[in-house]
Structure 1
Amino acid sequence: MKHLFFCIASLIAISATGKPVLPLVFGDHMVLQREKPVPVYGKTTAGAPVKLIFGNQVKEGVAGADGSFQLLLDAMPANSNGQSLFVISGDTVEYKDVLVGEVWLCSGQSNMEYTTNRSAHWYNAKRSKGLDSIQVNQENNPAIRLFLVYRDLTKPSDRNKGWHKAENPWIGQFSAAGYYYARELQSRLHVPVGMIASSVPGSAIEPWLPARQAAQNKDSIEPAGKFFSGLIQPLAPYTIRGFLWYQGETNCMLNQRDEYTQNMKLLITSWRALWNNDSLPFYYVQIAPFKYSTSKGGKIPLNDRSIAFFHDAQDKVLGITRNTARIITTDLADNIDDIHPTYKWEIGKRLAWLALDHTYRVKQVSAGPRIDKVSFKDHQARVDFVDPRLGLEVHDGSKVTGFELAGADGKFYPATGVVKSKKYVQVSAPEVHDPVALRFAWKEDIQPNLFNKAGLPAEPYQTNSAVTVEK
Structure 2
Amino acid sequence: MKTIEQLIILSTLLAVCINPKINAQSSRKELSLSPLFTDHMVLQQKNLNPIWGMARGGAEIKVTASWGETAKTRANSNGKWQIKLNTPVYGGPYFIRIESGDDQIVLNKVLIGEVWLASGQSNMEWKMNHCSGCIDNQDEEIANANFPAIRMFKVPMDLSGKKINNQKWEQANPQNVVDFSATAYFFARELHQKMDIPIGIINTSWGGTRVEAWTSPKKLNELSPTNHIKHQEEDVYEADIEKYIRYNDSVVLINEKNFGFKMLEFPIYKEEVEKKWHEYDFKDQNFSEVHFNDTQWNKINLDPDFENNLFFENLYSKNQSVLEDGTVWFRTKFDVKNPAAIHNLIFSKGIDDFDQTFINGQNIGNTFLHLDERNYAIPLGLLKKKNNVLAVRLTDFIGGGGFRGPAYILSANDSIALPFRDFKYKHQAIITNGYLMVHNYNEQDLQKKIINGENKFLKAHNINEANEYSILYHRMLKPTIPYGIKGVIWYQGEANVGNYEEYTVLLDGMIRDWRSNWNDDFSFYFAQIAPYTYSNKENSQGLRDAQRKILNITPKTGMAILLDIGEENDIHPHNKQDVGKRLALLALNKDYGFDLVDS
TM-score, normalising length from structure 1?
Answer: 0.67
Alpha-carbon offset, residue 137 of structure 1: 3.3
Alpha-carbon offset, residue 138 of structure 1: 4.1
Name the counterpart of 2:486.
241
Alpha-carbon offset, residue 166 of structure 1: 0.6
Q: Distance in 2 between matches of 1:112 and 1:249?
A: 11
Pair 1:309-2:529 in alignment: no
Output the amino acid matched with 2:127. Answer: T
Name the counterpart of 1:65.
77
Name the counterpart of 1:106.
118
Alpha-carbon offset, residue 154 of structure 1: 6.9
Pair 1:342-2:580 in alignment: no
Q: Distance in 2 between matches of 1:263 and 1:343?
A: 28
Distance 1:119 1:332, change over 3 A: farther
Distance 1:182 1:60, change over 3 A: same
Pair 1:176-2:182 in alignment: yes
Name the counterpart of 1:422.
none
Name the counterpart of 2:528.
286
Name the counterpart of 2:5.
none
Are 2:122 and 2:207, in contact at CA under 8 Å, matched by a contact in 1? yes
Moved more, 358-367 or 193-202: 358-367
Distance 1:353 1:158, change over 3 A: closer
Alpha-carbon offset, residue 316 of structure 1: 1.0
Alpha-carbon offset, residue 118 of structure 1: 3.5
Higher helix share: 2
Residues 236-264 of structure 1: per-residue CA shift (max 9 Å, x gap): 11101110110011111x1421x111110
- Of all paired residues, the percent bearing the same amino acid is 35
Name the counterpart of 2:109.
97
Q: Distance in 2 between matches of 1:62 and 1:255?
A: 47
Instruction: Point out where structure 1 has 5 or more consecutive residues left out of the alignment.
Output: 1-14, 124-129, 295-300, 368-471
Are 1:212 and 1:225, in contact at CA under 8 Å, matched by a contact in 2? no
Alpha-carbon offset, residue 159 of structure 1: 7.6
Pair 1:268-2:511 in alignment: yes
Name the counterpart of 2:469.
224
SS in structure 2 of the partner of residue 240 of structure 1: coil
Are 2:214 and 2:472, in contact at CA under 8 Å, matched by a contact in 1? yes
Q: Distance in 1 between matches of 2:483 and 2:116?
A: 11
Q: Distance in 2 between matches of 1:186 and 1:351?
A: 13
TM-score, normalising length from structure 2?
Answer: 0.53
Moved more, 110-119 or 188-197: 110-119
Residues 383-403 of structure 1: per-residue CA shift (max 9 Å, x gap): xxxxxxxxxxxxxxxxxxxxx
Q: Distance in 1 between matches of 2:33 and 2:160?
A: 12
Residues 364-423 of structure 1: per-residue CA shift (max 9 Å, x gap): 2103xxxxxxxxxxxxxxxxxxxxxxxxxxxxxxxxxxxxxxxxxxxxxxxxxxxxxxxx
Q: Distance in 2 between matches of 1:164 and 1:322?
A: 32
Q: Distance in 1 between matches of 2:127 and 2:522?
A: 26
SS in structure 2 of the partner of residue 227 of structure 1: helix
Name the counterpart of 2:44.
33
Name the counterpart of 2:590.
358
Name the counterpart of 2:153.
147
Q: Distance in 2 between matches of 1:121 and 1:89?
A: 50
Higher relative contact order (CA 8 A, sep 6+): 2
Instruction: Point out where structure 2 has 5 or more consecutive residues left out of the alignment.
Output: 1-25, 230-398, 400-464
Name the counterpart of 1:322.
555
Are 1:246 and 1:287, in contact at CA under 8 Å, matched by a contact in 2? yes
Output the amino acid matched with 1:256. Answer: Y
Alpha-carbon offset, residue 155 of structure 1: 2.4
| Pairwise CA RMSD | 2.5
